[in-house]
């Protein structure tokens, strides 16, 4: 009853999730191991194996037995366009619908699979063509091109440095709620006061927080721009 037209060359939601996972898990060489993929998607190895073979048939992945997986350029573009929909959605939910940055990932995980170019185009327009999402990740353009930023993890900063929080390497609800509880948001300026040699925790100061200790687990997930 008036459902969407399914183009055979179109990826299913499942395939789209595999492409996204491959994209996000790719190392600097663009390679991913099957077991990382299976782990990332919470499926068994044989499941990932058979899916990868079918993604190869569709031309999204280069697959050779026992070799690491590599997205083809088409696969990369496809993945980037899904990530674009995901991040535009997150931005829309935060900026236009009043959601907190910790609430939007799960919703976007579903909305990203909607096939309606005008819908996302309209979001993009309403948002003024944003280039980053609410967690500081870049939004690919409509050709699937991604602007790369060179941020460094806070964990690599030295005492005395002043930095600005610009992005996160993890956007789980739990982590975001932790940041909320410490009043840490994108844009916050922090000064690194000291590093504890034993557990690599950092003592920082910012705004009304003259002294706050951040574990290594936290500081390695905070990406910053060094200000001086």
Partner DNA sequence: CAAATTTGTTAGACCGATCTAACTTATTAC
Partner DNA sequence: GTAATAAGTTAGATCGGTCTAACAAATTTG
Q: Which residues bind a copy of itself (CB under 8 A)?
A: 1-4, 17, 20-21, 24, 40-42, 93, 96-99, 103, 105-107, 109-111, 114-116, 118-119, 122-123, 126, 172
Number of other residues whose CB lies within 10 A of the CB of residue 160 = 10
* Helix pair angle (104-111, 73-95), 10° resolution: 130
CA distances from 54 to 15, 70, 176, 183 (A): 9, 14, 36, 45
Three-state DSSP class for residue 18: helix
Q: Choose from a copy of itself, DNA, Mn ion, none: what does 66 bind? Cβ within 5-8 Å by kind.
A: DNA
Note whether 194 binds DNA by CB under 7 A: no
Which one of residues 15, 31, 74, 109 is an interface residue with Mn ion (CB under 5 A)?
A: 109
Residue 38 CB, nearest approach to DNA (Å): 7
Q: Choose from DNA, Mn ion, a copy of itself, none: what does 178 bind? Cβ within 5-8 Å by kind.
A: none
Residue 34 CB, nearest approach to DNA (Å): 4
Q: Which residue is nearest to Mn ion (CB)?
A: 105
Which one of residues 10, 24, 27, 46 is an interface residue with DNA (CB under 7 A)?
A: 46
* Contacts (CB under 5 A) with Mn ion, residues 15-34: 17
**How would you class 193 by CB atoms within 10 Å of its CB: exposed for 0-12, middle for 13-18, buried for 19 or more?**
middle
Using the rule CB under 7 A, give the single segment among 38-46, 96-104, 176-184, 197-205 that binds DNA: 38-46
- 6-29 CB burial, b ≥16 within 10 A, e <16: eeeeebeeebbbbbbbbbebbeee
Residue 128 CB, nearest approach to Mn ion (Å): 20
CA angle 157–158–160, rounded 5-degree value: 120
Q: Choose from DNA, a copy of itself, Mn ion, none: what does 139 bind? Cβ within 5-8 Å by kind.
A: none
Q: Choose from DNA, Mn ion, a copy of itself, none: what does 118 bind? Cβ within 5-8 Å by kind.
A: a copy of itself
Number of alpha carbons in the 13 Å side-chain half-sphere of residue 78: 24
Instruction: Report the C-alpha gap between 2 and 50 in whole angstroms.
Output: 32
Q: What share of the chain is helix, strand, coil (3-state, %, to 5)?
A: 40, 20, 40
Which one of residues 105, 134, 138, 155 is an interface residue with Mn ion (CB under 5 A)?
A: 105
Instruction: Report the C-alpha gap between 174 and 185 in whole angstroms.
Output: 14
Question: Which chain residues interact with DNA by CB under 7 A?
Answer: 12-15, 33-36, 42-47, 49-52, 54, 63, 65-66, 68
């Amino acid at each position: 009853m008036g459902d969407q037209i399914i183009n055979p060359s179109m990826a299913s939601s499942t395939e789209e999730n595999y492409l996204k996972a491959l994209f996000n898990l790719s190392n600097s060489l663009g390679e991913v191991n099957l077991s990382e993929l299976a782990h990332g998607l919470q499926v068994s190895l044989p499941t990932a194996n058979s899916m990868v073979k079918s993604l190869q048939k569709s031309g999204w992945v280069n697959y050779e037995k026992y070799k690491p997986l590599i997205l083809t350029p088409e696969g990369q573009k496809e993945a980037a366009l899904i990530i674009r929909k995901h991040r535009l959605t997150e931005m829309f939910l935060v900026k236009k619908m009043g959601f907190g940055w910790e609430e939007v990932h799960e919703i976007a995980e579903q909305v990203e699979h909607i096939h309606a170019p005008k819908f996302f185009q309209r979001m993009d327009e309403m948002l003024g063509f944003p280039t980053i999402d609410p967690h500081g990740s870049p939004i690919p353009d409509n050709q699937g091109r991604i602007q790369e930023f060179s941020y460094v993890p806070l964990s690599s900063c030295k005492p005395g440095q002043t930095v600005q929080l610009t992005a996160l390497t993890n956007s789980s609800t739990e982590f975001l709620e932790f940041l909320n509880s410490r009043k840490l948001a994108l844009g916050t300026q922090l000064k690194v006061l000291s590093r504890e040699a034993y557990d690599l925790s950092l003592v920082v100061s910012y705004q009304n927080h003259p002294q706050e200790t951040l574990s290594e687990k936290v500081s390695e997930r905070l990406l910053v721009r060094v200000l001086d």
